[in-house]
Structure formats: C-alpha cells, structure tokens
Amino acid sequence: MSDNFKALIVNQEGENFNREIKSIDKSFLKHGDVLVKVDYSGLNYKDALILKNGARLVKEFPHIPGIDFSGTVEESQNDKFKPGDEIILTGWRVGEIFYGGYSQYAKVNGDFLVKKPKELTSKQAMILGTAGFTALQCSFATKTAREELLLGEKVENVIVTGASGGVGSIAVMILNKLGCNVTAVTGKESNKEYLKSIGAKNIINTSDINKEARPLDKGLWDGAVDTVGGQILANVLAQMKDGGIVAVCGNAADIKLNTTVMPFIIRGVKLWGINSVNASIKRRQFLWNEVAKLIDFELLGQSIKEVNLEGLLDVFPKMLKGETSGRYIVDLNK
C-alpha cells in the first residue's frame, strides 16, 4: 500500500467543528484486524449529519466518517479474510464510533465484513450501500415476511414514502421486481417520470398524505415502506388493509408518531422497525446475494451521482436541506 493516502478527517475542539481532507498513513488507523483498500463509499443522511457537526454520534476526535464502503482486502489478521477478497461493509457503527470509508484505506473488524457476490462490481455494491441494504430489508419485511413467515395473503398493493430518496427509490424498484403494484410518495415533481421508469405504478404527492391522520381510513395497502415518519407514517398506518406490514426505517419528516392502537387491534397491522446497523452477517449475505435478481443497475444508474472527497464536502449540506435526490457515491480513487 501507499505510505500516505487521502482521508476526510473531522475534528472538534471546544465549539469549533471542522472537516478537512488530509494525507495520512496507516498508523492513523487504530481499529480492526482487516485493512481494506477502499474503492467506493456512499453519502447517506446519517453521513451528512456527522459531516455537519458529528451529530452526537461521534465519540472521539479526530475521526474518519463514512458509514459504508466497498473495496479489496490488503492485509488481514482475521481467518475469514485474505488479501484479494472483495468486501462490502455497511453498519456496525463504522463511521460513527469506528473509522469509516471516507479514506483510501480503512481498517475494520473482519466480523463486520461481507464478501461481495461475484455478480456485483465494487461500484454496484456502493450504488446500493447502506440505502440499498436498508431497502432490501424493508422490502423483504413488507412482502416476504407476510407471505412466507406469517403465511398471510399475497402482497399486491404497496406504498413507499420518501420515494425520491436513496432508500425509497431502491425500495420502489425491488418491490416492483417482487411483483407488487407500487405507489410512490414524493414531493419532487421532477422525479415522477423517473419513479415510474423504475417501477412505480402510481405517484402521490407528499402534501396529499402529510396531514392529520384519522384513527382508521379506507384500507388501501397490503404493505408499506416508510422512510419519513411523522404524520405521513400515521396516515399510512390508518390506510393499511388487514394484516399489512409497514416497514419503517427513517425519520426525515419527524421522529414523533401520533397514532392510535386502532390499525393494530382492528386490522392486525404490524409496524416492523428496520435497523440495518446490527443485522446478522447471515442475513446480510442472504440479502446481498439476492441483489442481482432484483436490481437493474443500468436503470438505477440514472439517479446516481459520483463525487470525490472534495465534492462530498460541497454536496452534504444540500442533502440536509432536502435538495438532493437519488444516491451519491464517493469514488476514493479520484
């Protein structure tokens, strides 16, 4: 490996928070037993929060953010991995309490790593990244858990909120591939045609569902993926049909949920929380191996923007203002 390499370092001294791209060497990397040459990382909402001010998630400074990455093992003291293995990392609080992927080299616990399926390129793995992995979890909870685990009725009509975002847009594609009629909720008029191109049958404007919810409404949905929370989630719950599952993974609109027990006790609706941080390696491997069947990367690529570390510093404030759509990936070789 190179003696020196580029990394994005955030630091805090008193009230002064700063972010800077620096040249560092391997001795700076203090965690883990596997050294990875990073090809790609991603920009997730959590990354943007950390880049802004640490978001109370970072406990020690200086720190290297980046909650997901893909790359190739360079050195390993872990029996499960050897040099040359291509890997994917998402979650496990890497980029928060452990150094993350905004660096040309990363050193992490080998127990956090998944071997990349041969059908995927390193770039494709990060086109999905944490957002895609979360969307996979949500989609399987919404459809497969009801049909196969709970032996329920077929899931046909599903709704995806925050459909212009990374998780939402990928969930639209996956659920369409799984045979569902997908209704996408978005506030971005410019994204409607794109959402239809990746599988949305219908589009609802966010304003139409972002209102005070009734305890129960007309049952419209067999399943739902919610990425925003708040009143929108309350309305989705009220509109679920009997036995429907709502997979919830985000709070972009609000962390509060003002609802009643009615959807749960009258219609048997299930609110299924999705936390991609601590998913088991066995489940991770299963989901990553499903990707080739469910994702059209040529189509998804239309919404992917590629930046380097310098470009990352320009774009994360826009994400926090809701001015971005699709997914941003970070090329560490640039």
What fold characterizes domain 130-273?
Rossmann fold (3.40.50)
Residue 152, pLDDT score: 87
Give the other-Cβ count within 10 Å of 17's Cβ: 15
Residue 2, pLDDT score: 65
DSSP string, 280-303: -HHHHHHHHHHHHHH--HHHHGGG
Under DSSP, the state recorded for 111 is G
Of 252, 198, 188, residue with least CA distance to 226: 252
Residue 76, pLDDT score: 97
Of 11, 5, 115, residue with least CA distance to 62: 11
Let me know if domain 5-116+297-331 sits in CATH 3.90.180.10.
Answer: yes
Of 123, 107, 100, 116, residue with least CA distance to 40: 123
Residue 175, pLDDT score: 98
- Domain positions in the chain are 5-116+297-331, 130-273
Residue 151, pLDDT score: 85
Residue 302, pLDDT score: 79
Q: Are 306 and 126 in contact (CB under 8 A)?
A: no
Residue 1, pLDDT score: 63
Tell me which residues of the chain have a pLDDT lower than 50.
none
What confidence tens digit (pLDDT) does each residue in 272-302 have? Answer: 999 999 999 999 999 999 999 999 999 888 7
CA distance 41 to 122: 10
Can you give the C-alpha Rg of the chain in angstroms? 20
- The length of the chain, given as a count of residues: 334
* pTM, 2 dp: 0.92
DSSP string, 67-78: SEEEEEEEEE-S
CA distance 272 to 6: 40
CA distance 180 to 182: 6
Helix (H, G, I), strand (E, B) or coil at 135: helix
Please return the burial class of 178, using the count of CB atoms within 10 Å of its CB with bins 0-12, 13-18 and 19+.
buried
User: Would you give the end-to-end CA distance of the chain in angstroms?
Assistant: 16
